[in-house]
């Protein structure tokens, strides 16, 4: 009797993770003959043998660490099979499969660069379980010829490893060694210096200098994190006076720098190797993260980083190498031009970076991604039930924290962080990224989804594509993004969305930002919102917190307190502008309310040096002060007017700014939670969803969940609550309405 033969189709993140040699090893173990190959849909297998059933079961149960198996489909096979089991060449081009993100150096490769052997000290060591992936990829299927490693022909030793199915470097596309692979050098003023480049970089760092270090997704600027003068020098050169700097540290150094929980350590050690926000022990200079309780820390994630940190013997500042407001530098010539004024030396290599990838930024408790980038992209998310027949959609996000989203075959691919599109070069990178993703993933959208604000560059780009356009209101997109991440079904019913952020255009023509929405993917109503106040000076109000404090205090009948607090500011001019409605649009922004309260407490009142500085300092300052400050609920309005008189009274009675900050956070959380909870209690909503950039504030996030009590709550964990997740929401709103055959707006 002829043995049963099958075709097995494995879909998911199964290329660039050692999946074919894994299947080959399973075939040896279970006595199966046949073949395995990569193609546009993932991994294909044709197999037969006595152990076939166990072989099939092991494919998903024992998949490689970096793999993500979405589906294993089996059908009959009637063709010829080889006597043994072979790894066949890749078939076809295009992209129905997932692409593996870049992965931090695995323990085996870390050990290898430290031990005698041909890769000891080699900065580009990798295997099927680690190394560059998306950052070097030019096309699919994922083969060396379609990566930036194509420029480095393998030597006989590397070729032997690459072709041996039993070797951990079998078909590891970036495989290399000092004989045939990329090389490292140190240069000053455009001239390469002879000698050990790691030792030269370390000497520069120990002398208090700044070194530009070329990594996987771009250049970093590094300096000694323990040297206040070096940190101050880097800040002065980069014109970055206060924005927190990330620190790269060896595992052994972590305990001295921050309080590290098991969850923190697990996240730091993840193959994505993100920057993780930890509670600082304040052992590093204050200049690392002025006014912050948290410290952004990441472990070395490339062999180059491991070699540099070990040789240096301590933590290094490792911040993006770019001009202020511009994208991260990735090319050697670009670095020499743009970073010459920042760096005293350059640690360079000759492997091309195919796309700019900033470091991801995350928190373990509560679990959340603040910036989704290197190590997390281009991982896909399954669409919720009901979206299986959704058309291909391209969503372009907003103006800030740009990121795009592609919907195809029941999956959503949320792209990497592209920066703020106010900057021309970031806008140019956005256009390139759209073309790159569409080509790489063979994406042919039936429609494009954009923010309803006509002034956003992403919106204008979408309108110019010649495709049907779905305009999605900003805060509806935030709500839908949270629903989609939590796999809320298309017909799952309405939820109460608490959406707190900076600003976004609302259907009434005003700028929203402190909202309780009742809705689903198809639409929404505004159930409650923060009482609007004028943003005096428009965009300047986002940069100068005192303007928001003036507007809110005047609104509360406390103009005399504003006069006392901001005596040197041009208050009369601003009041006249507000009264006449001159460049003073009304806004319900929760973000601007944070700014106002911070200004009243003396936190950077006259100017913020970076977005969110006042609110972040306010969160860092907060201590338990007792009862929340009182917000008034007047119909649909959540009015903050009462908080100001109470704050003034408490300060006069001797309360500390830290206690007032705690009471502000609690009062805000309770006010919005009450409005959302009532919708659930009345049966109008089935759950509460928290979205918008303000919910990256861990304290506000926690207090709001506590205030919601037993009410079911949906939160962001693997997509940003801020505008970095906006495109996911736009895509699902557009897809839902396309399925129903109606306009998104």
Cα of first residue to Cα of last residue in the chain, in angstroms, is 62
Q: Which residues 6+ apart lie within 8 Å of 380 measured at CB?
A: 13, 98, 411, 412, 413
Predicted pLDDT at 743: 47
Digit-coded pLDDT (tens) for 111-163: 999 999 999 999 999 999 999 999 999 987 778 999 999 999 999 999 999 98
Lowest-pLDDT choice from 109-113, 141-145, 438-442, 630-634: 141-145
Token pair in block for residue 567: 């005596």
* Residues 291 and 610: beta-carbon distance below 8 Å: no
Q: Which spans in 583-684 are helix H?
A: 590-600, 613-621, 641-652, 657-681
Digit-coded pLDDT (tens) for 571-580: 999 999 999 9
pLDDT, the chain, mean: 94
Q: In a 3-state reduction of DSSP, which class is residue 745?
A: coil
Q: Which residues 6+ apart lie within 8 Å of 188 measured at CB?
A: 344, 345, 346
User: Residue 277: pLDDT band by 50, 70, 90 thresholds?
Assistant: very high
What domains are defined for the chain?
5-87 (3.30.70.100), 99-262+294-365 (3.90.870.30), 378-486+720-740 (3.30.420.360), 499-520+527-714 (3.30.420.40)
Active site (catalytic) residues: 20, 38
Phi, psi for 649 (deg, rounded to 5)? -60, -45
Q: In a 3-state reduction of DSSP, which class is residue 297?
A: strand
Full-model pTM: 0.93
DSSP state of 189: T
The answer, yes or no, to whether residue 99 has pLDDT greater than 60, is yes
Residue keyed to tokens 């997109």: 477
Name which of 442, 439, 441, 458 is nearest 450 in CA terms: 458
Residue keyed to tokens 């926690």: 702
Element (H, E) at 349: strand 345-349
**Three-state SS across 7-51?**
EEEEEEECCCCCHHHHHHHHHHHHCEEEEEEEECCEEEEEEEECC
* Whole-number Å distance between alpha carbons of 315 and 317: 7
Digit-coded pLDDT (tens) for 392-405: 999 999 999 999 99
Q: How many CB atoms lie within 10 A of CB 538?
A: 16
Q: Which residues 6+ apart lie within 8 Å of 317 measured at CB?
A: 221, 222, 223, 224, 225, 230, 231, 234, 245, 246, 247, 248, 288
Token pair in block for residue 504: 């976004």
Digit-coded pLDDT (tens) for 497-517: 999 999 999 999 999 999 999
Predicted pLDDT at 91: 79
* Whole-number Å distance between alpha carbons of 347 and 223: 13
Q: Tell me how many degrees the CA angle 631-635-639 measures, rounded to the nearest 5.
A: 25
Residue keyed to tokens 């309005």: 637
Q: In a 3-state reduction of DSSP, which class is residue 327?
A: coil
Token pair in block for residue 569: 């500011």
**Pairing between strand 361-363 and 275-280?**
parallel
Report how far Cα 485 is from the mean position of its chain's Cα atoms: 14
User: Residue 542: pLDDT band by 50, 70, 90 thresholds?
Assistant: very high
* Whole-number Å distance between alpha carbons of 219 and 240: 17
Sequence length of the chain is 745
User: Residue 326: pLDDT band by 50, 70, 90 thresholds?
Assistant: confident
* Residues 452 and 512: beta-carbon distance below 8 Å: no
């Amino acid at each position: 009797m002829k043995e049963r033969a099958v075709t097995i189709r494995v879909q998911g993140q199964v290329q660039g993770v050692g999946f074919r040699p894994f299947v080959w090893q399973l075939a040896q173990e279970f006595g199966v003959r046949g073949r395995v190959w990569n193609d546009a849909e993932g991994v294909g297998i044709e197999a037969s043998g006595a152990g076939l059933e166990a072989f099939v079961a092991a494919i998903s149960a024992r998949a490689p660490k970096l793999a993500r198996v979405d589906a294993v489909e089996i059908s009959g096979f009637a063709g010829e099979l080889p006597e043994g089991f072979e790894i066949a060449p890749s078939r076809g081009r295009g992209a129905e499969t997932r692409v593996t993100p870049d992965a931090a150096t695995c323990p085996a490769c870390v050990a290898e660069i430290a031990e005698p052997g041909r890769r000891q000290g080699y900065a580009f060591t990798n295997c099927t379980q680690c190394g560059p992936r998306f950052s070097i990829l030019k096309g699919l299927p994922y083969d060396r010829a379609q990566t930036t490693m194509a420029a480095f022909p393998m030597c006989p030793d590397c070729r032997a490893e690459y072709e041996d199915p039993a070797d951990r470097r079998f078909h590891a596309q970036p495989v290399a060694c000092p004989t045939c692979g990329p090389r490292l050098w140190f240069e000053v003023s455009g001239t390469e210096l002879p000698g050990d480049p790691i030792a030269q970089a370390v000497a520069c760092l120990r002398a208090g200098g700044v070194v530009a270090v070329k990594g996987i997704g771009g250049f970093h600027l590094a300096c000694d994190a323990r040297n206040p003068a070096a940190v101050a020098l880097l800040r002065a050169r980069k014109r970055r006076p206060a924005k927190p700097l990330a620190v790269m540290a060896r595992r052994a150094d972590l305990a001295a720098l921050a309080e590290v929980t098991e969850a923190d350590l697990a996240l730091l050690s993840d193959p994505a190797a993100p920057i993780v926000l930890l509670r600082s022990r304040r052992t590093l200079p204050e200049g690392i993260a002025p006014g912050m309780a948290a410290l952004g820390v990441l472990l070395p994630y490339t062999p180059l980083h491991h070699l540099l940190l070990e040789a240096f013997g301590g933590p290094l500042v490792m911040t993006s190498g770019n001009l202020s407001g511009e994208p991260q530098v990735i090319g050697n010539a670009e670095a020499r031009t743009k970073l010459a004024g920042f760096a005293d030396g350059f640690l360079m290599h000759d492997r091309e970076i195919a796309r700019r990838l900033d470091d991801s930024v995350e928190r373990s408790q509560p679990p959340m991604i603040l910036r989704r980038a290197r190590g997390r992209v281009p991982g896909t998310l399954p669409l919720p039930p009901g979206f299986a027949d959704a058309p291909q959609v391209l969503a372009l996000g907003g103006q800030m924290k740009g990121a795009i989203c592609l919907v195809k075959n029941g999956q959503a691919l949320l792209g990497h962080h592209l920066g703020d599109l106010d900057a021309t070069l970031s806008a140019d990178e956005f256009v390139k990224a759209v073309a790159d993703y569409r080509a790489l993933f063979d994406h042919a959208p039936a429609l494009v989804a954009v923010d309803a604000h006509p002034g956003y560059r992403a919106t204008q780009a979408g309108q110019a594509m010649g495709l049907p356009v779905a305009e999605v209101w900003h805060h509806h997109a935030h709500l839908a993004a949270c629903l989609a991440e939590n796999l809320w079904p298309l017909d799952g019913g309405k939820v109460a969305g608490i959406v707190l952020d900076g600003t976004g255009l609302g259907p009434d023509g005003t700028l929203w930002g402190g909202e309780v929405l009742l809705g689903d993917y198809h639409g929404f109503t505004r159930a409650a919102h923060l009482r609007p106040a004028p943003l005096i000076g428009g965009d300047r109000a986002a940069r100068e917190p005192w303007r928001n404090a003036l507007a809110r205090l005047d609104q509360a009948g406390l103009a005399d307190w504003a006069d006392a607090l901001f005596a040197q500011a041009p208050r009369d001019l601003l009041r006249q502008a507000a009264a006449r409605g001159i460049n003073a649009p009304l806004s319900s922004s929760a973000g601007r309310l944070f700014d106002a309260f911070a200004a009243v407490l003396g936190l950077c009142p006259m100017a913020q040096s970076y977005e969110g500085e006042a609110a972040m300092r306010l969160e860092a300052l907060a201590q338990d002060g007792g009862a929340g400050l009182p917000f008034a609920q007047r119909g649909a309005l959540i009015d903050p007017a009462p908080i100001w008189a109470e704050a003034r009274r408490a300060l006069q009675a001797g309360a500390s700014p830290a206690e007032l900050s705690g009471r502000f956070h609690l009062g805000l959380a309770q006010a919005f939670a009450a409005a959302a909870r009532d919708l659930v209690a009345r049966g109008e909503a089935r759950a509460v969803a928290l979205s918008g950039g303000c919910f990256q504030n861990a304290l506000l996030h926690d207090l709001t969940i506590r205030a919601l009590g037993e009410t079911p709550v949906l939160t962001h964990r693997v997509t940003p609550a801020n505008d970095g997740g906006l495109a996911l929401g736009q895509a699902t709103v557009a897809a839902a309405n396309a399925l129903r055959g109606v306009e998104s707006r």
